[in-house]
Amino acid sequence: MINKKTITSIGCVVATAALAFALASCGNSETADPDPQQGGETSSELTGSISINGSTSMEKVIGTLAEQFMADNPGVTITYDATGSGTGVECARNGSADIGLASRALKADEAGLESITVALDGIAIIVNEECGVDDLSLEQVTAIFKGEITNWSEVGGSDLEIACVGRESGSGTRDGFESITDTEDACKLAQELTSTGAVITAVSSSKNAIGYASLSAVQDQEGIKAITVDGVACTEETVMDGSYKIQRPFNFILQEGADLSATAQAFVGFATSAGAQDLIRAADAVPVK
């Protein structure tokens, strides 16, 4: 049990440290632009490099896919900067990355881009094991985060005040959660944390807390439980068939009609192929089909 906590904590440290690096990361990707000269060789073997930039939530999926792709094609290097969905879209738009990543659908004002859904991610609603609640309706989740329900006893739990734990403004998980629960800019939070690990730690250490995090991050965590929403548990199956409501897509963002290098095209093809489904599953996300 102590070990488990330590592991969570280490995740926390890593995530916090990653923040510091995120500042400079978008610029870095320029150095990794694919070399057009190399792509001109007519051999079947892929060479060159692919720069990917964007959503931190997609780190595990992209890491797993990229590792396999590079193992299959030794001449290819893939660089991935985990910055954020906003930056990912921006990098795809201005061409500083070959592929942008966004853990949300494109917004109306983000024109000239196309998105390819690679995987799905369920956003689990997590509470402390001792709050006495196992199921909430989507409306109740909304009311809790808006501050309309302030005590767990109002939704059938113990007599404890509710403390909502959220993510920082701009986070893909927050954006996903708030747009689905219709709580945009209306959340009354007790804590705003900058990483999934921090949210899980905060919820596991407080009986009053409720928070949200990626499905992949909350499995087998001590001290917290993912509640069912409208009676549906957050699992791979319920996310895939759409019955679990709080879910979001993991998208590749490309420039519309972009002149993608053969290598990058091959990677996009690989990520959406049937063979990648198991890898996506291994990375704790939900394949599209």
Partner 1 sequence: MKRPAKRIEKVFHGIFLGCGLLSVFFVVGISAYLIISGVPAIKEIGLVEFMLGQLWSPSQGQFGILPFILTSLYGTAGAILIGIPLGLLAALFLSKYAGPKTSRIIRSSVELLAGIPSVVYGLVGMIVLVPAVQNAFSLSSGATLLAAIIVLAIMILPYIVNVSATALDAVPQEYEEGSLALGATRTETYFKVSLLTARSGIAAGIVQGVGRALGEAMAIIMVAGNVANMPHIFGSVRFLTTAIVGEMSYASYGSLHRDALFSIGLILFILIVLINVVLNLIVRKEEK
Is 2 or 71 the residue whose CB approaches partner 1 more closely? 2
Q: Which is nearer to partner 1, 48 or 197 (CB)?
A: 197
- Kindly state the tokens that stand for 92: 């795809």
Asked if 158 touches partner 1 (CB under 8 A), the answer is no
Does 16 participate in binding partner 1 (rule CB under 8 A)? yes
The residues that bridge with 151 in the sheet, in sequence order, are 161
Q: Which stretch binds partner 1 (CB under 8 A): 19-27, 64-72, 140-148, 251-259?
A: 19-27
Residue 205 as a binder of partner 1 (CB under 8 A): the answer is yes
Beta strands in the chain (DSSP E): 48-54, 76-82, 99-102, 113-128, 135-136, 163-167, 191-193, 209-214, 224-226, 228-229, 247-255, 286-287
Tell me which of 46, 92, 124, 162 binds partner 1, using CB under 8 A.
Answer: 162
Closer Cβ to partner 1, 185 or 220, answer by number: 185
Half-sphere exposure of 3 (CA within 13 A, CB side): 0
Contact set for partner 1, span 223-282 (CB under 8 A): none
Cβ neighbour number for residue 112 with a 10 Å cutoff: 11
CA distance between the termini of the chain: 36
170 sits near partner 1 (criterion: CB under 8 A): yes
Stretch that binds partner 1, among 8-16, 113-121, 222-230, 238-246 (CB under 8 A): 8-16
59 binds partner 1 (CB under 8 A): no
d(Cα 187, Cα 147) in Å, to the nearest integer?
7
The nearest distance, CB 258 to partner 1, in angstroms, is 19
Return the closest-CA partner of residue 277 out of 130, 60, 118, 112.
118
205-215 residues labelled b (16+ CB within 10 A) or e (exposed): ebbbbbbbbbb
Residues that bind partner 1 in the complex, under the rule CB under 8 A: 5, 9, 12-13, 16-17, 19-20, 22-23, 26, 56, 83-87, 89-90, 160-163, 165, 168-171, 184-185, 189-194, 198, 201-202, 205-206, 208-209
